[in-house]
């Protein structure tokens, strides 16, 4: 039984969440652990991977299927779901009403006319910890980013990234909200540390609760030694030299009420919930993981359409796992309806400070099938760092401008 589609009543919510199975059956897809997939039997995984990866399998990429594993979110998140979810509602424009903490809609009904929006809000308020150091679980404590050009040449970068929830907190005090920040959902700050030509570039983002209030996005650019407020259209700007933009961070990072959502159904997809090596081994000049096995995971498919016709992505589809509501696959089309980008995210188990095993992002791959460029980001997370909101201010950008660093 999964969280969504189950019939819950009172304390049964928590019991059901805790009873999520730790294994998924591969027999439904005519696959079983130990099976080898390659050009001779690529049809077996058709529809379970992105179009570009399927073509690479046809051309010779091979791997094995392993036993599927799942983890549940931390107990305090499940308890918050039980305590608060019954009061959550959608407003006339899709805004979330009466939300406090936990999963907003554990009673998710695929036949509900608002199923798409409810799934989107479940994704938005999925468990991410009360704060996160992206890349904090790597050996360097930083995000490791590799950009691979069509000709196979590579460029390496190191990025520091901090994120804090100011609402919906379930572990660190104060909870569920930071006093004085109830009008803000989250804040994040990221800084390039390597290579030298981009080192010091720092961005600060603030997401407001009010659906009519635009995000604050500030950028410090070392070459001009200025902090400037970026216009909303900047969210579509590529984080050069990668294939990611601001709204690609964490697969989809747009303001929720600026989009329409359609629930496309349930789908089995290939993924990896126990990445063996961080970053994974690969051939130089290629993004494909070597020595990593794939597994079958159950997902919900969510189509995202912007209300603004000038937005950079006319259509994006997320395949969201049923336990954590993280994306396993992200597929993007351009304005002409042509397949544009595909992203898959491996995950890896880590432990919280109290010993609870949970899942973190491992390595994420974004492939632009039109220009042949790919980007790999290894961003294993360190959760619940105890950040103070004072870190996420213009004063921090000014400190960087004066030669300081974010740590």
* Segment 333-349 mean pLDDT: 96
Q: Which residue has the tokens 């030299």?
A: 241
Is the backbone peptide bond immediately before 174 cis, with ω within 30 degrees of 0? yes
> Which residues have CB under 8 Å from 8's CB, separation 6+?
16, 106, 107
Q: What is the model's pLDDT at position 4?
A: 40
User: Who has greater pLDDT, 226 or 12?
Assistant: 226
Tokens (6 digits) for 19: 């009873």
Predicted confidence at residue 26, as pLDDT, reads: 41
| pLDDT at 407 (0 to 100) | 62
Residue 312 Cα distances to 121, 149, 332, angstroms:
21, 22, 10
The pTM for the full model equals 0.91
Q: What is the pLDDT of residues 201-213, one digit of tens each?
A: 999 999 999 999 9
What is the per-residue pLDDT for 21? 36
Residue 30: per-residue pLDDT = 83
pLDDT digits (tens, 9 = 90+) for 299-317: 999 999 999 988 999 999 9
When the pLDDT of each residue in the chain is averaged and rounded to a whole number, the result is 90
* Bond prior to 279 in cis (omega within 30° of 0): yes
Going by pLDDT thresholds of 50, 70 and 90, the confidence category of residue 198 is confident
Please write the tens of the pLDDT for every residue from 244-295. 988 898 999 999 999 999 999 999 999 999 999 999 999 999 999 999 999 9
* Average pLDDT of the segment spanning 372-377: 97
Residue 221 has pLDDT above 50, yes or no: yes
β-bridge partners, 175 = none
Question: Residue 27: its pLDDT value, please?
Answer: 39
Q: Is the pLDDT of residue 381 over 80?
A: yes
Q: Which residue has the higher pLDDT, 222 or 16?
A: 222
Q: pLDDT tens for residues 9-55?
A: 344 444 334 333 334 444 345 899 999 999 999 999 999 999 999 99
pLDDT number for residue 237: 82
CB 104 within 8 Å of CB 122? yes
Considering the chain, what percentage of its residues have pLDDT values greater than 70?
A: 93
**pLDDT tens across 236-246, in order?**
888 878 899 88
3-state SS, one letter per residue, for the chain: CCCCCCCCCCCHHHHHHHCCCCCCCCHHHCCCCCCEECCCCHHHHCCCCCHHHHHHHHCCCCEEECCCCCCCCCHHHHHHHHHHHHHCEECCCCCEECCCCCCCCCCCCCCCCCHHHHHHHHHHCCCCCCEEEECCCCCCCCEEEEEECCCCCEEEEEEEEEEEECCCCCCCCCCCCCCCCCCEEEEEEEEEEECCCCCCCEEEEEEECCCCCCCEEEEEECCCCEEEECCHHHHHCECCCCCCEHHHCCCCCCCHHHEEEEEEEEEEEEECCCCCCCCCCCCCCCCCCCCCCEEEEEEEEEEEEECCCCCCCCEEEEEEECCCCCEEEEEEECCCCCEEEEEEEEEEEEECCCCCEEEEEEEEEEEECCCCCEEEEECCCEECCCCCHHHCCHHHHHHHHCCCCCC
Instruction: Tell me the average pLDDT across 170-176.
Output: 97
What confidence category does residue 79 fall into, taking pLDDT thresholds of 50, 70 and 90? very high
Give yes or no for residue 6 having a pLDDT over 60.
Answer: no
92-136 tens-digit pLDDT: 989 999 999 999 999 888 899 999 999 999 999 999 999 999 999
Least confident of 2-11, 114-123, 161-170, 332-341: 2-11
């Amino acid at each position: 039984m999964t969280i969504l589609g189950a019939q819950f009543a009172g304390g049964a919510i928590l019991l059901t969440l805790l009873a999520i199975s730790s294994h998924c059956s591969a027999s439904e897809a005519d696959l079983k652990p130990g099976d080898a997939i390659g050009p001779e039997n690529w049809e077996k995984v058709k529809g379970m991977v992105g179009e570009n990866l399927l073509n690479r399998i046809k051309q010779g990429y091979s791997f094995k299927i392993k036993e599927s594993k799942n983890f549940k979110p931390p107990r305090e998140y499940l308890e918050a779901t039980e305590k608060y979810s019954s009061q959550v509602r959608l407003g006339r424009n899709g805004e979330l009403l009466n939300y406090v903490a936990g999963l907003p809609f554990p009673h998710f009904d695929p036949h509900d006319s608002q199923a798409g929006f409810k799934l989107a809000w479940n994704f938005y308020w999925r468990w991410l910890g009360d704060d996160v150091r992206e890349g904090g679980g790597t050996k360097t404590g930083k995000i490791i980013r590799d950009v691979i050009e069509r000709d196979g040449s590579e460029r390496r970068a190191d990025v520091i990234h901090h994120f804090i929830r100011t609402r919906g907190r379930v572990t660190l005090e104060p909870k569920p909200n930071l006093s004085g920040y109830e009008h803000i959902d989250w804040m994040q700050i990221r800084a390039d540390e390597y290579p030298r030509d981009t080192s010091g570039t720092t961005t600060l983002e603030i997401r407001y609760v009010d659906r009519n209030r635009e995000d604050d996005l500030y950028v410090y650019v070392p070459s001009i030694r200025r902090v400037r407020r970026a216009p909303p259209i900047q969210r579509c700007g590529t984080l050069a030299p990668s294939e990611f933009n601001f709204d690609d961070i964490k697969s989809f990072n747009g303001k929720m009420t600026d989009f329409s959502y359609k629930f496309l159904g349930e789908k089995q997809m290939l993924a990896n919930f126990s990445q063996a090596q961080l970053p994974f081994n690969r051939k130089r000049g290629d993004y494909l993981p070597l020595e990593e096995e794939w597994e079958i995971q159950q997902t919900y498919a969510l189509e995202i359409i912007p209300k603004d016709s000038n937005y950079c992505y006319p259509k994006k589809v997320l395949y969201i796992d049923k336990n954590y509501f993280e994306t396993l696959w992200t597929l993007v089309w351009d304005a002409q309806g042509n397949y544009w980008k595909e992203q898959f995210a491996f995950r890896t188990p880590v432990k919280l400070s109290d010993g609870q095993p949970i899942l973190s992002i491992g390595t994420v791959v974004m492939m632009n099938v039109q220009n042949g460029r790919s980007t790999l980001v290894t961003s294993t997370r360190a959760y619940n760092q105890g950040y103070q909101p004072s870190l996420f201010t213009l004063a921090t950008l000014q400190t960087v401008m004066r030669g300081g660093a974010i740590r």
